[in-house]
Amino acid sequence: MSINFEQITKHYNAAPVVNDVSLQIEAGEFFVLLGPSGSGKSTLLRIAAGLTDVDHGRISFHGRDVTNIRARERGVGLVFQHYALFRHMTAGENVEFALRVRGVRRRDRARRRDELLQLVALEGYQGRLPGQLSGGQQQRVAVARALAHEPQVLLLDEPFGALDAKIRVELRETIRQVQRRLGMTTILVTHDQEEAFALADRIGIMNNGRLLETGRAETLYRRPATRFVATFLGAANLFLGERGSEGLRLGNRFLAIGDSLKAAGMGNEVVTIVRPEDIEVAEDEERLRSSLLSPGHVLSVDFGGASERLRVQLPRESEVISAVAREHLPDAVGAAHAAAPVVVEVTRTNGEQAQLPLTQGKRVALAIRRFHVLPTPISSFRILSSDPATAAALYQAPLLRQLVQSMQAPVLDAQDLGERDATQTGVAVIAGGGDGAIDDIVAAAGQGRRQMLCIPPQLALPRRMLIHCNSDVARSATLGLVASVMRHLHAEATFVSVQSPTAPRSEVTSSFRRLLDARAELQETHGLDIRTDVQIGDLNGWVAHLAASSEPVLVVLGLDGSPPELERILHSDFQPLFNRGGNCAVLLSCTGAPTAGTESRSSGIDSLFDSRAFDLMQRNPH
């Protein structure tokens, strides 16, 4: 039986714990929902079981809408982490319970009980009470009981969590065998990566109520689309790189061109993932067979049985920059982050250990065998302000704090990377709520920046995202930026079209089609779902209404045009969003070409932080 979740949303205390999740699970598939505690995976499972209602969305089993159907009528078997067996009943009586309440005859119950106990390798245990069984045996009884009424869907909510390691392995092998034999559609919720890899046909990774990515285990491990998935599925080294005609530049070294480099998102600056096992270690550069990264010295050596874990510190001269913030939110500015040495994690096999034994302090050379470039358009954040007080206020803005903490993206000064220009480097962060905000945005666009986040420093954390594009050209680039933010913000996202009440039918039809195309593109390209809304009226009226609202909102604008055109559009159509005292943060995705000479209007914005600003920030970060 196939299962289809469509824009499932559930709120607790006005916050979405499951946020517009759309997912198709095929008949007979073993699907694993993987994520940290509080990510929304168990809530989604309870929604599938009918134990929790939804605030928005629809769920169907094999085309049948079951959104408002009671749990008992859905034909679902459910196994919890705690066994939930009736302590006064024997194992056999527990298995028979679901059949007895359905009025099945005793002889048929006994036959089904014996089949199921044999299926979970518990023949001869039907007379034992739960207290006479081990934890693994009790959980097997719980699985057999869930299967007794022949459900078409089996839901498992962390059923191995209370068991020791050996029993967990045995039980998951049993469940996988049972699932394959019966061809039953199964959803398992877990936070254990090893369990997910061992059991899943496909894995869906959740965080902050969003379904971030779905795919086969190897695909998600080797070619993740987000920082979170890359680091959640095992150890990963994340570096900021620069792509160009010569390939990928990490620090002062160039690597060969990789397939993922061509497929990465827009911009010169990219996030590069290198798994610890893909780092080659040698005594010197001449002995390396792969592309050189940097020399370094060994900080620690940890024995791991079949493998050895190394931590190797790179010298500052390598110019390698980490793509992960060292702290949840730096109190000091980016230069302090950049000055901190980069530490690389390395995993070596027993054979590699025997060829080159290493101890703490040993000098080595590192090379990269394989790398993957994330398609995210948000590689880093750059605060564009030469005023230390303004910069400090932006650092403490709840919206930027949330994005930096969740993405683990670094906040850097443009000079940290030795940039030749500022073209398409990171997301520029600009102070909003003032008369000069639009001028600063236009100046940054003239420098070649394509993504800009304008935040009134006093703005509370937005719970809504509203997206509007002025052309189909701007839509694709904007949706990539929207997807990155949606994965890291507890906010409901809506793609908005503003439609004149006097528009001809053909224009209305085209407007609806563009909304549907935007939703389909976001689903197909980024695996996320979004709501759509048509506002009847004029654009200025919609903007004025947003600006007058007391609710904090993140407005995402996809605008196509050169910097002079961008200036005209912002002043004529969106000026109220930037007024002093407003409650709107504005995230811009600009697809127009920069214009020569525009930089002269930057009013010093290209000089992000001087040494005095750094000193003041470090002394008074708040």
List pLDDT tens digits, range 398-414: 999 999 988 888 887 64
Arithmetic mean of pLDDT, 63-87: 86
Buried b (16+ CB within 10 A) or exposed e, 551-584: ebbbbbbbbbbbbebbbebbeebbeebbbeebbb
Q: Where are the beta strands (DSSP E) in 482-592?
A: 492-499, 531-536, 553-559, 584-590
Q: Are 386 and 605 in contact (CB under 8 A)?
A: yes
Closest CA to 56 of 97, 103, 6, 90: 6
Closest CA to 409 of 373, 448, 445, 382: 382
Closest CA to 411 of 381, 369, 445: 381
Query: Where does the pLDDT of residue 595 fall: very low under 50, low under 70, confident under 90, or very high at 90 and above?
Result: very low
The one-character DSSP state at 411 is B
Q: Are 602 and 414 in contact (CB under 8 A)?
A: no
Chain position carrying tokens 């894995």: 203
**Residue 55 structure tokens:** 């605030």
pLDDT value of residue 558: 95
Q: Provide, rounded to the nearest whole percent, the portion of the chain with pLDDT above 70.
A: 89
pLDDT value of residue 207: 92
Residue 616 has pLDDT above 60, yes or no: no
pLDDT value of residue 619: 35
pLDDT value of residue 257: 64
Interior angle at CA 552, CA 547 and CA 553, nearest 5: 75
Task: Characterise 418 by phi-psi region: left (phi > 0), alpha (psi -120 to 50), beta (else).
Answer: left
**Residue 309 structure tokens:** 């874990």
- How far apart, in whole angstroms, are the C-alpha atoms of residue 308 and residue 468? 50
pLDDT value of residue 177: 84
Chain position carrying tokens 């620690």: 300
Domains, the chain = 3-222 (3.40.50.300), 227-373 (2.40.50.100), 381-619 (3.40.50)
Arithmetic mean of pLDDT, 357-376: 93
pLDDT value of residue 604: 35
Among 28-32, 191-195, 301-305, the range of highest mean pLDDT: 28-32
pLDDT value of residue 326: 59
Closest CA to 297 of 250, 344, 338, 356: 344
Read off the pLDDT of residues 417-427 as tens digits, 9 standing for 90 and up.
Answer: 444 444 556 89
Q: Provide, rounded to the nearest whole percent, the portion of the chain with pLDDT above 90.
A: 47
- How far apart, in whole angstroms, are the C-alpha atoms of residue 563 and residue 261? 28
Least confident span in 34-43, 270-279, 383-392: 383-392
Q: Where are the beta strands (DSSP E) in 422-542?
A: 427-431, 451-455, 464-469, 492-499, 531-536
pLDDT value of residue 606: 34
Query: Where does the pLDDT of residue 16 fall: very low under 50, low under 70, confident under 90, or very high at 90 and above?
Result: confident
Least confident span in 87-96, 274-283, 325-334: 325-334
The one-character DSSP state at 126 is T
Read off the pLDDT of residues 99-157 as tens digits, 9 standing for 90 and up.
Answer: 888 888 989 889 988 888 888 888 888 899 988 988 888 888 888 888 887 788 999 98
pLDDT value of residue 420: 42
pLDDT value of residue 601: 34
| Rg of the chain over all Cα atoms, to the nearest angstrom | 28
Query: Where does the pLDDT of residue 416 fall: very low under 50, low under 70, confident under 90, or very high at 90 and above?
Result: very low
- How far apart, in whole angstroms, are the C-alpha atoms of residue 616 and residue 619? 5
**Residue 354 structure tokens:** 């025997």
Q: Are 407 and 378 in contact (CB under 8 A)?
A: yes
Least confident span in 24-33, 130-139, 277-286, 301-310: 130-139
Contacts with 312 (C-beta within 8 Å, 6 or more apart), sequence order: 281, 296, 297, 298, 299, 343, 344, 346, 364, 366
Read off the pLDDT of residues 160-204 as tens digits, 9 standing for 90 and up.
Answer: 776 777 777 877 888 888 888 888 999 999 988 988 999 999 999
pLDDT value of residue 339: 53
- pTM for the whole structure: 0.82
pLDDT value of residue 118: 86
Residue 283 has pLDDT above 60, yes or no: yes
- How far apart, in whole angstroms, are the C-alpha atoms of residue 589 and residue 478? 5
The one-character DSSP state at 420 is S
Hey, which residues does 190 pair with through a beta bridge? 34
Query: Where does the pLDDT of residue 73 fall: very low under 50, low under 70, confident under 90, or very high at 90 and above?
Result: confident
Of 206 and 15, the one with more pLDDT: 206
Per the prediction, the chain carries an average pLDDT of: 85
Least confident span in 69-78, 113-122, 190-199, 333-342: 333-342
pLDDT value of residue 295: 95
pLDDT value of residue 277: 96
pLDDT value of residue 7: 94
What's the length of the chain? Answer: 622
Element (H, E) at 543: helix 539-548
Arithmetic mean of pLDDT, 48-64: 93
Read off the pLDDT of residues 379-391 as tens digits, 9 standing for 90 and up.
Answer: 889 888 878 888 8
Of 63 and 259, the one with more pLDDT: 63
Q: Which amino acid, residue 85?
A: L
Instruction: Name the burial class of residue 246, with classes exposed (0-12), middle (13-18) and buried (19+) by CB atoms within 10 angstroms of its CB.
Output: exposed
Read off the pLDDT of residues 504-555 as tens digits, 9 standing for 90 and up.
Answer: 988 888 888 989 999 999 999 888 999 999 999 999 999 999 999 889 999 9
Residue 260 has pLDDT above 70, yes or no: no
- Residue 266 vs residues 69, 269, 561: alpha-carbon distances, Å: 45, 9, 17
Q: Are 392 and 311 in contact (CB under 8 A)?
A: no
